[in-house]
Structure 1
Amino acid sequence: MDPLHLCIAMGPVIAYLMLLGLINARRRPFLTTGARDLSALGIGVSGLVIAGPMELFMPELALNQFGAYVWLMMLALYGLCWTLLVLLVRPRLVIYNMTIKQLRPILSSVGSKLDPELRWAGDSLCLPTLHVQLHLETFTTLRCTQLVSSGPEQSCAGWRKLEIKLAEALKTTESTINPYAMSLIVLAVFMAVAVTFKMATNLELVQYQLREMLRL
């Protein structure tokens, strides 16, 4: 792959890997919503989309007519499509740097304060007063646990209350550093150095390809 497209494709991926590494290097759990988690992923893969299908299916007539402005329209279209995907997914909470075994008692304590009718069934939890039903999923490698909604009847307000109270409870919770965190950080740094070196040794080619890409 030529240096310009390599930089475009790998730049956001490097940033995403570095972010994951730094989050997992914390000694405290990190809570985020499914929407924010999916938005970060969308930014992480955006470079691959730009260097791949977006350029492949770029309308040449529009590019010759409007120049670099076509890229702004294509990026806006990508952003709108990904935003629609984020809005369509069911409610979800993601807790990095915490296992199900560590999270479950904290979740039970928080849930019982919000809803005395709390009920567990295996890894599924029902909060009938809040109109929240969820089940726990885990990704062992990244020590990431997700609270995923179960069923279509969900209350966004109930999920918001659960998020706020769970975030408050996790502030006082400590966790060990994920050993995979350093691997992600080292990989991101190595990729960044490799991409930078390839661009630095081919500056004239990069400038030429950028002008061709933007029709300048």
Structure 2
Amino acid sequence: MDPLRTAIALVPLASYLLLLGLVNLRGRPLVTTGANDLATLCVALSGVVFVGPLELFRPEPATIKLGAYVWLLLLGLYWLCVSLAAMILRPRLTIYNITLEQLRPAVAEAVSQVDPDARWAGDSLVLPRLQVQLHLDSFASMRHASLVSSGGNQSLEGWWRLKRALIRSLQDLSVGPNPRSVTFLTGALVLFGLSVAGLVAAPEQVAQAWASLTSF
């Protein structure tokens, strides 16, 4: 693969690793929704999709008619698919830089504020007033945990109220930097370095690749 396409594929991924590194370095938990988490991951993979499936399956009639503008159409289609996936995704809250043991008391405090009738069963939780059912899950090696919906009868408003309460209960919690942040930051620097080195080392190949992408 030429240096330009390599850079297009690697820079968004490197930016994603840099973001993960900074989030895990800050020493505080970060709460986000499953839809936001998915959208961020799709941004990271957008470069790979651009130089892979989008370029490979680019429709020839549209390319001839629209020229370079065909890329806007294809990227728009990609983000429409991402938006659809985010909308139909089951409710989920992802909390970065926290262990399950640290999260459980914060969840209990948040739940007590929004639904006194909540019932625990192991790692499962039912909040009847909010119409929310969920279970706790964790990725211990990366030190982040999730609140994952259980069942199809869920209230989006209830999830938003639970999210706000959870953010309040976590705002004073300090967990210290995640050692994995060094891995993320190193990976980001390596990918950025490879991208820049390729662009600088072969300007003629970059020009040729740019011409092949923009002229039809």
With the length of structure 2 as denominator, give the TM-score of the two structures. Answer: 0.97
CA RMSD after TM alignment: 1.0
**Aligned residue in 1 for 2:103:** 103
1:115 corresponds to = 115
Maintained 8 Å contact 2:99/2:138 = yes
Runs of 4+ with >6 A deviation: none
Letter in 1 for 2:144: C
Q: Would you say the 8 A contact 2:113–2:165 is kept in 1? A: no
Match of 2:12 in 1: 12
Tell me what 2:198 maps to. 198
Distance 1:158 1:123 in 2: 19
Q: Give the TM-score normalised by structure 1.
A: 0.97
- Residue 59 of structure 2: aligned partner: 59
* More displaced stretch, 79-88 vs 106-115: 106-115
Which residue in the other structure is 1:157 paired with?
A: 157
Q: What is aligned with 1:43?
A: 43
Distance 1:191 1:114 in 2: 44
Deviation at residue 64 of structure 1 after TM alignment: 2.3
CA distance, structure 2, for counterparts of residue 72 and residue 48 of structure 1: 16
Q: Percent identity?
A: 44
Counterpart CA distance in 2 for 1:151 and 1:78 is 29
Structure 2: which amino acid aligns with 1:166?
L
Per the alignment, residue 78 of structure 1 pairs with 78
| Distance in 1 of aligned mates of 2:122 and 2:69 | 53
Matched pairs, number: 216
Query: C-alpha distance in 1, partners of 2:62/2:113?
Result: 58
Counterparts of 2:15 and 2:205, CA distance in 1: 24
Listed as ranges, the gaps of 5+ residues in structure 1 are none
Amino acid at match of 1:58: R
Q: CA deviation at 1:142?
A: 1.6
SS in 1 for 2:141: coil
